[in-house]
């Protein structure tokens, strides 16, 4: 008899809800390179742009976010890399 059939042990199953593009859901949100606070949500701690599978954005809006982040980096609204803390 297997563990799964007896009700003991087994693997936990995680059900992830489908990610919906927040920009498609709410048409009033505008992606702007001058809005650095919004763009920081799409950047990882070391300065990389978060992928679509993490943010849940559609391809169109992910491209807009990436180009806005790159534009904001050029005019020094966002850093290219974040300095790590030395503890």
> 3-class SS at 49?
strand
Quick count: other Cβ atoms within 10 Å of Cβ 55? 17
Quick count: other Cβ atoms within 10 Å of Cβ 28? 5
pLDDT tens-digit profile of 24-35? Answer: 999 999 999 999
> 3-class SS at 27?
coil
CB 85 within 8 A of CB 52: no
Residues 13-26, mean pLDDT to the nearest whole number: 85
Q: Return all residues near 35 (Cβ < 8 A) that are at least 6 apart.
A: none
Two tokens at 25? 């859901």
Q: Which CATH architecture has domain 22-75?
A: Irregular (4.10)
Q: What is the pLDDT of residue 78?
A: 92
Identify which has the larger pLDDT, 87 or 49: 49
* 80: pLDDT strictly greater than 70: yes
pLDDT tens-digit profile of 43-76? Answer: 998 899 999 999 999 999 999 999 999 999 999 9
CB 68 within 8 A of CB 36: no
Tokens 């742009």 locate to: 49
């Amino acid at each position: 008899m297997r563990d799964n059939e007896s009700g003991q042990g087994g693997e936990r199953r995680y059900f992830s809800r489908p990610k919906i593009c927040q920009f498609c859901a709410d048409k009033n949100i505008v992606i702007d390179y001058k809005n650095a606070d919004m763009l920081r949500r799409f950047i990882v701690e070391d300065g990389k742009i978060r992928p679509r599978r993490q943010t849940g954005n559609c391809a169109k809006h992910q491209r807009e976010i990436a180009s806005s982040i790159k534009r904001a980096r050029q005019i020094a609204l966002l850093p290219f890399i974040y300095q790590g803390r030395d503890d």
